[in-house]
Structure formats: C-alpha cells, structure tokens
Amino acid sequence: MNYRSRAIVLKTSDYRDADKLVTLFSEKQGKIRAVARGVKKPASSLRVCLQPFCHSQLYLSGGKELENITQGKLLEFFPNIRENIDLTLQVLYLMELLDKSLMDRMPLPALYTTTLDVLAYLDSQGYNPLVSRFFEASLLKYLGYQPVLDRCVNCGRQDTRLVEFNLLQGGVICPDCSSARASDFDFNGESLAILRLINSTGDVKTMQRVKASDGALKNLEIFLEKYLEYHLERRFNMKKTIRTLKYL
C-alpha cells in the first residue's frame, strides 16, 4: 500500500550502511516505524525531512515489517528551537514522551495537532515551563489517564481541601478518605489550580497568561512526572539528562 501522510519525526537511528530507522508520529497512522533508504548519503533529498522533531509530508509504502519512506517534503523545521540547546533538549524530551507512550498504529489526531501547536509556540515564543506541563497533561488526557481533580475520587465529595492525590485511583482524595486511602502526592493550592486550568483548555497559548510561582511550577512538574511514570511504567532518559546538565 502506497500512501502519504504528514508526520513528526520522533527519533532516528542507524540501520544498515546508508539507511536509517525512523520513528514517526503520523497524522493518519499514529506511531509508525519506517526505513529511509540511502538517507545517510550526502545527496539524499530525505535528509532534511527526517531530522528529529521536523514536521514533514512523507510518502510511504508498506513493507513486511517496516514502512519504507520513498519521498518527503519538509513542512516545518522549527529553526529557533534548534539554535537553543536548552530548548532543543526540552523538545527532545517531549518526543521521548510520545515515543514511549504511543501504541503503534493508533491515530490520535487531536494529540497530533496539540504537538504541532506546542512546537510552533516554543519556536516562536521560547521556553515556558508551563508549556511542557501543558503537553504532559494533554498527553495524559488523550491516552485516557486524565486525573480527577474536581471531586474526591473515592467518595465523590467536592471539597476545597482536595490536595492529596492517590495514584492508583487516579484522583484527589478528601481528608475523610485520606485516612483509608494512602496519599501518594500532596498538591499545593496554586499548582492544583493551574493543573485544573490546563485540563479545561485545549489552547497552549493560554499558558502565556498564567503567572506561576517557582514552588507551584516545581510541585506541578514533580506530580506530572510521577503520574506519567506510574501509568506508562517508563522512565524518561531525557528528563534525567536535562536535570544533570542543569546542575553542572
């Protein structure tokens, strides 16, 4: 089967002498793995289309195990991200999240659009930690793991003191239930309010209007990392790399 699809390049790796194995988040097929033959040759027209986190129009044909990329056209290169090493690392972390969380050949068009919106925002506006948190929370939502934040996940009570979170049940718990249900994480009020806002909006541009304290940002980052690792049962290498470089 021959077809074309827009796709975001999640990662590439060497595959035989002049070929590369490419992992794509495609608009039509979801996550797929494909071979780009001869792409390491200097004259290959595919080289520019298959750089990490490029957005490209690709022409593919079905193989026995892997797709074959036959042609490509670059749509977005996101040059400003590539000129900033810190921003590049943050985006590579987002690509790792997608690679490790998406099932093969499961289209998620809303997540695809959100990913493009986030890349475009970071390329035009620079780094904003809330944009990364927006992406993480959006990923959880589209994968079906959106946390319950507006009521006690155990008894259903709406309570202003809902700041404790139970990972197994996937939601906040009230003080009465916390004695019977172990709390795995404690929100501060500001970070919980920001996460509720993120979950209620689908527009990444909303994040530029949010003013958050350093404490709330850290609290929110720790929660989302813990929640992602719990549900995806994965650890994220790029996150560790970013932390290591930060404290050098």
What tens digit of pLDDT does each residue of 186-230 get? 999 999 999 999 999 989 999 999 999 999 999 999 999 999 999
Domain hosting 5: range is 1-77
For residues 222 and 203, membership in a common domain is answered with yes
For residues 65 and 163, membership in a common domain is answered with no
Output the domain CATH number for residue 222.
1.20.1440.120
Report whether 186 contacts 223 (CB < 8 A): no
The predicted pLDDT at position 248 comes to 56
Final residue before a domain boundary, out of 77, 108, 129: 77
Report whether 184 contacts 165 (CB < 8 A): yes
For residues 48 and 156, membership in a common domain is answered with no
Report whether 194 contacts 176 (CB < 8 A): no
Final residue before a domain boundary, out of 77, 101, 116: 77
Average pLDDT over residues 119-129: 97
For residues 110 and 212, membership in a common domain is answered with yes
For residues 40 and 93, membership in a common domain is answered with no
For residues 207 and 225, membership in a common domain is answered with yes
For residues 69 and 102, membership in a common domain is answered with no
For residues 90 and 59, membership in a common domain is answered with no
What tens digit of pLDDT does each residue of 64-95 get? 779 999 999 999 999 999 999 999 999 999 99
Residue 54 has pLDDT above 60, yes or no: yes
Residue 39 has pLDDT above 60, yes or no: yes
Output the domain CATH number for residue 29.
2.40.50.140
For residues 87 and 50, membership in a common domain is answered with no
Range of weakest confidence among 19-33, 34-48, 179-193:
179-193
As beta bridge partners, residue 15 has: 19
Q: Which burial class, exposed, middle or buried, applies to 203 when counting CB atoms under 10 A from its CB (0-12, 13-18, 19+)? A: exposed
CA distance 142 to 9: 19
The H or E element that residue 121 is part of is helix 109-125
CA distance 22 to 14: 9
Final residue before a domain boundary, out of 46, 77, 108: 77
For residues 30 and 116, membership in a common domain is answered with no
Number of structural domains found in the chain = 2
Residue 160 has pLDDT above 70, yes or no: yes
pTM of the predicted model, to two decimals? 0.95
Range of weakest confidence among 129-133, 177-181, 188-192:
177-181
The predicted pLDDT at position 56 comes to 98
Please state, for a pLDDT cut of 70, what percent of the chain lies above it: 98
- 106 C-beta neighbours (distance < 10 Å), count: 10
For residues 240 and 204, membership in a common domain is answered with yes
